[in-house]
Structure 1
Amino acid sequence: MEFSIKNGNPEKQRSDAVIVGVFESRKLSAAAVAIDLAAEGYITAVLRSGDLEGKLGSSLVLHSVPNVAATRVVLIGLGKEREFKEREYRQAVRASVRALASSAAANVTTYLADIPVKKYDAAWKVAQLVEIAQDSTYRFDATKGKDNKIKDTKGIKKLVISVAKSDVKKAEDGLKQGLALASGISFTKDLGNLAPNYCTPTYLADQAKALGKTHGLQVEVLERADMEKLGMGSFLGVAQGSVEPPKLIVIQHKKGKKNQKPVVLVGKGITFDTGGISLKPGAEMDEMKYDMCGAASVFGTMKAIAEMELPLNVIGIIPTCENMPDGNAIKPGDILTSMSGQTIEVLNTDAEGRLILCDALTYAEKFDPAAVVDIATLTGACVIALGHHASGLFSNKDGLAKELLDAGEAALDRAWQMPLWDDYQSQLDSNFADIANIGGRAGGSITAACFLSRFTKKYDWAHLDIAGTAWKSGKDKGATGRPVPLLTEFLIKRAAK
């Protein structure tokens, strides 16, 4: 989909469709009023017939409206005017794209970004509109045969976003940001949705190198021998059960001042998780291809900030391997020695994400980071606690936690802070090692975060558990691209400081 910014009268737009809003009680938005005046009350008469009440997300497509240049006028329900906020705005935008998804309207002008949303400016509205429009039309067919490839013969191809003349500059800034964010989200989804026999650790390493070439990022890939020299016994312990070689991918975006400490993003990259010797149940195990969505979100975020040319130093670290149950795999009861020197008793091989992350978090120390955020599909317990709406957030620094929470609210990609109290640490006690890799069923997402906290004492750190938000199951099965919006907003605000 192509996007552009314009200022102009809605009734004069020579496009296949023009999109305007209608609040409940059939109250017209400013653009809808302009069309109604030009059409001599035609819109009002249609609404009076009861075909559209203005309920949020409803739509009505009108053809050949008198004295209007566009072929179609699309009315989108906005809900109650006093309740029209950021969430309602996003729903209205999504409904507008959906309303034309199966139509022949290819060139479309929308006036939804001209509707006031309390506390948000034109840049935010345009960025959100672009992100949602791209998300609404996202399809994955990379592994389908040529006869089943998705043929985009219908729906919007070019979308003109109309704003007030005074908002054009802000809108153009928002367009650039929205396009970059949408690009990063799509990249994250593509990686997550790709089959695990395609999306291997080596594939991710190749994707990182390609990203570096196209976006001017510095990329380094550490191999097994490099990790052995560093003493990454925990990470390599997980990897030893697979024939696929592990990789430690480092991606650097160096657009900040030379002496500026970097923000480090660490993404869990288990490209397939069988559970290892502690084998998972067979039902829905195919979804364990999504166990690398933390890594995918780092890829997507790095792509987005590179396209934005964000003036900040950011480093992505991605430990990636498979967790398989072959004859060389680690066993419950094994003791691993991490890069930090701490020994770990493996009580459950299905708690492997923390075993690869802990060495990556220790490796992050070498960059003297301003802050480190790890992102991982870490625990089913987090899904039980928070469902699929919010990501779990844990941090050793309240200020960093607040930055991430605020970014999530602004991006509508929310997280919820969970406790990281010392009271939980004793659940990880081991009779045979410095720490056990699980702490029992009670507070499972918290004890997982407590485990990681043992390796993050030298810097400000936050952990995002995205097990409930990284993908959807059922008929809408697929990666969501979260938390790329949250992470990108967090970095944008950091850069602004």
Structure 2
Amino acid sequence: MAISRSYLLVRYKYSVLGQRLYSSMSDKRGLVLGVYSTDGQDDVRLTKFAQKYNESTSGKLLEQIKICGPISSGSARIYWDLGKYPAVAVAGLGDASKWDELDEINGVKENVRIAAAAGVRALSACKIGTIEVEDLEDAEAAAEGAGLANYKFQEYKNKEKQTSLPTVALAENNSGSEEWDKGSILADAQNWARKLMETPANLMTPTIFSENVKTKLASLNVDVQIYDEEWARVKQMGSFLSVTNGTKEPAKFLEITYKGDNSADKCIALVGKGVTFDSGGISLKPSASMDQMRADMGGAANVAATIYALARQKVPVHVKGFIPLCENMPSGTATKPGDVVFAMNGKSICVDNTDAEGRLILADALCYASTFNPLFILDIATLTGAIKVALGDCVAGVFSTSNKLWEQIHEAGYESGDRVWRMPLFKHYSDQMCDHNGYDLNNLGKGKGGGSCTAAAFLRQFVDKETPWLHVDIAGVMGDCSDQSYTGSKGMTGRPMRTLVQFIKKAGS
């Protein structure tokens, strides 16, 4: 069989002529197209946009695909000098029906995200400067996958050694520009959350985080109030402030208000854990992987990024974000195991373990959020290692007092690809936290096992019974996740921010 010139160009970068082409590709455009392929070599179906592109090449695109056989889901193959683009990456969309219903995921959308990411990464590896992506028959999902894949944390690397990232946009003459923009905003917001989480703790203190959020949201009709420790003392947030005793870094408390619906009487309250570094305090963590505790403010990052996305998309909802920010450090002034502190609602707490600090700062934030009489409260936190033991690294745990809200966030996770799983709020766990002599609660509780459940039971004591409430434990999906190729298997993820946006759109309508 004669091998065409287009096929031979795949080897260009390994030849002298190819090295010249490869080094000059940064000013070239690349295109990502989609193809549905099954096990049969001739059973290849192009997307509608790819079909048109194939016609513009007089059928050469499909001819080249068939030479090498089907392109499997999640992989991409590059064709050179085929049509008006110097490089065309054809990404496999696979067969959505192969997703088991027990996976609880919209396989069509997820395959699009995976394919878009594969195409962008393939062209980016060839140093293509501008990458255009077709809609892959779901423009929003395509933009999410492309945008999340086109991310690399390298803020503090020598400029000369940083990887140059391409510009990614919707392909010319493609439909779905409005949906693409929505997906791009979601990817951009999640990438911001990833950046906040990944930044070293000395460069992302409570003060720096606060100013970063205020600056980011300044032009989006979002009000950001930054409160200091004196404000928290006046509010009698003794539980929150007890965590800051061991550090010289001042604590902050953010109150963020986005009023996309001026007619709304009540707000949706989002509360995010903002421990910018967690050493464990006097109950010191093991040194191995302690550096990852720079991302213990993942809940705070999710809240800020969610409001950012809602504001950019101009979603007609009224949302308030509440973010307590601090460090948890050991020193001569640090809170000691066995100390008793008092929360904003007057409840006394024995701090049995200073490494269970997230629930202490959230307790006061939940009390404060309750004073606004919201429609419901959702708190989100990298709260317990126990949730990763229970669920692994592919899903966030959700505890909810409302079946309706659970169903809505569950559906949101199905659509976004960032799934959630319901966990129990049995009275048994509340008894373990509250049945003590001498004080109202213990931050560790009685018994063994069920650590994520007892943590949720603790938080429940600081939410009005009349207010619907969800607690989202994201410690398992904080970083180094193995289930999403488009966010990668290394680094902080910013998850499940897109699920929160999808959920709030539904719940707030």
Fold equivalence (TM over 0.5): yes
> How far apart, CA to CA, are the structure 1 residues paired with 2:308 and 2:279?
29
1:21 paired with 2:35, answer yes
What's the counterpart of residue 8 of structure 1? none
> How far apart, CA to CA, are the structure 2 residues paired with 1:18 and 1:276?
49
* 8 A Cα contact 1:365 1:458, kept in partner: no
> How far apart, CA to CA, are the structure 2 residues paired with 1:156 and 1:219?
31
* 8 A Cα contact 1:278 1:348, kept in partner: yes
User: Which among 394, 412, 421 is matched to residue 389 of structure 1?
Assistant: 394
CA distance 1:454–1:187, shift in 2 (3 Å): same
> How far apart, CA to CA, are the structure 2 residues paired with 1:240 and 1:326?
8
What's the counterpart of residue 468 of structure 1? 476
* 8 A Cα contact 2:92 2:115, kept in partner: yes
What's the counterpart of residue 301 of structure 1? 306
> How far apart, CA to CA, are the structure 2 residues paired with 1:81 and 1:248?
44
1:444 paired with 2:464, answer no
> How far apart, CA to CA, are the structure 2 residues paired with 1:38 and 1:161?
14
What's the counterpart of residue 113 of structure 2? 90
User: Which among 236, 255, 258 is matched to residue 260 of structure 2?
Assistant: 255
CA positional deviation for 1:348: 0.6
CA positional deviation for 1:44: 4.6
Post-superposition CA distance 1:39-87 (Å, at most 9, x none): 45534543443x132321232222234xx33334432222237546222
What's the counterpart of residue 46 of structure 1? 64
Post-superposition CA distance 1:342-361 (Å, at most 9, x none): 10111111000000000000
User: Which among 403, 407, 419 is matched to residue 412 of structure 2?
Assistant: 407
What's the counterpart of residue 433 of structure 1? 439
SS of the residue corresponding to residue 462 of structure 1 reads: strand
* 8 A Cα contact 2:410 2:419, kept in partner: yes
What's the counterpart of residue 347 of structure 2? 342
* 8 A Cα contact 2:235 2:344, kept in partner: yes
Q: Where do 4+ consecutive residues of structure 1 move more than 6 Å?
A: none
AA aligned to 2:299 is G
> How far apart, CA to CA, are the structure 2 residues paired with 1:449 and 1:160?
46
> How far apart, CA to CA, are the structure 2 residues paired with 1:44 and 1:366?
62
CA positional deviation for 1:148: 3.1
> How far apart, CA to CA, are the structure 2 residues paired with 1:161 and 1:344?
60
* 8 A Cα contact 2:120 2:131, kept in partner: no
1:80 paired with 2:95, answer yes
User: Which among 364, 370, 374 is matched to residue 359 of structure 1?
Assistant: 364
> How far apart, CA to CA, are the structure 1 residues paired with 2:189 and 2:336?
37
CA distance 1:150–1:15, shift in 2 (3 Å): closer
What's the counterpart of residue 461 of structure 2? 454
1:489 paired with 2:502, answer yes
AA aligned to 1:438 is L
> How far apart, CA to CA, are the structure 2 residues paired with 1:415 and 1:81?
20
> How far apart, CA to CA, are the structure 2 residues paired with 1:315 and 1:463?
16
SS of the residue corresponding to residue 476 of structure 2 reads: coil
User: Which among 225, 235, 251 is matched to residue 220 of structure 1?
Assistant: 225
Aligned positions of 1:295-334 closer than 5 A: 295-334=300-339
User: Which among 124, 134, 145 is matched to residue 132 of structure 1?
Assistant: 145
CA distance 1:31–1:232, shift in 2 (3 Å): closer
> How far apart, CA to CA, are the structure 2 residues paired with 1:175 and 1:112?
8
> How far apart, CA to CA, are the structure 2 residues paired with 1:34 and 1:188?
37
* 8 A Cα contact 1:110 1:162, kept in partner: no
> How far apart, CA to CA, are the structure 2 residues paired with 1:257 and 1:455?
28
What's the counterpart of residue 61 of structure 1? 78
AA aligned to 1:21 is V
CA positional deviation for 1:374: 0.2
In structure 1, runs of 5+ residues without a counterpart are 1-13, 115-124
CA positional deviation for 1:96: 1.2
CA positional deviation for 1:402: 1.4
What's the counterpart of residue 424 of structure 2? 419
AA aligned to 1:322 is E
Post-superposition CA distance 1:241-299 (Å, at most 9, x none): 11111111101001213442100100000000011111100000000111001001111
CA distance 1:89–1:176, shift in 2 (3 Å): closer
Instruction: Identify which range, 446-455 or 36-45, moves more after superposition.
Output: 36-45
In structure 2, runs of 5+ residues without a counterpart are 1-27, 99-106, 483-487
> How far apart, CA to CA, are the structure 2 residues paired with 1:61 and 1:69?
14
Number of residue pairs aligned between Structure 1 and Structure 2: 462
Aligned positions of 1:163-174 closer than 5 A: 163=174, 168=175, 171-174=176-179
CA positional deviation for 1:15: 5.9
> How far apart, CA to CA, are the structure 2 residues paired with 1:310 and 1:178?
14
Structure 2 length normalisation: TM-score? Answer: 0.85
> How far apart, CA to CA, are the structure 1 residues paired with 2:333 and 2:444?
21
SS of the residue corresponding to residue 361 of structure 2 reads: helix
Post-superposition CA distance 1:439-463 (Å, at most 9, x none): 2431100000000001112411100
AA aligned to 1:139 is K
* 8 A Cα contact 2:246 2:331, kept in partner: yes
CA positional deviation for 1:216: 2.1
Instruction: Let me know the Cα RMSD of the aligned residues.
Output: 2.2
AA aligned to 1:52 is G
CA positional deviation for 1:205: 1.7
Structure 1 length normalisation: TM-score? Answer: 0.87
What's the counterpart of residue 199 of structure 1? 204
CA positional deviation for 1:31: 4.1
> How far apart, CA to CA, are the structure 2 residues paired with 1:492 and 1:145?
41
Instruction: Identify which range, 419-428 or 471-480, moves more after superposition.
Output: 471-480
Instruction: Identify which range, 96-105 or 402-411, moves more after superposition.
Output: 96-105
CA distance 1:245–1:48, shift in 2 (3 Å): closer
> How far apart, CA to CA, are the structure 2 residues paired with 1:181 and 1:87?
15
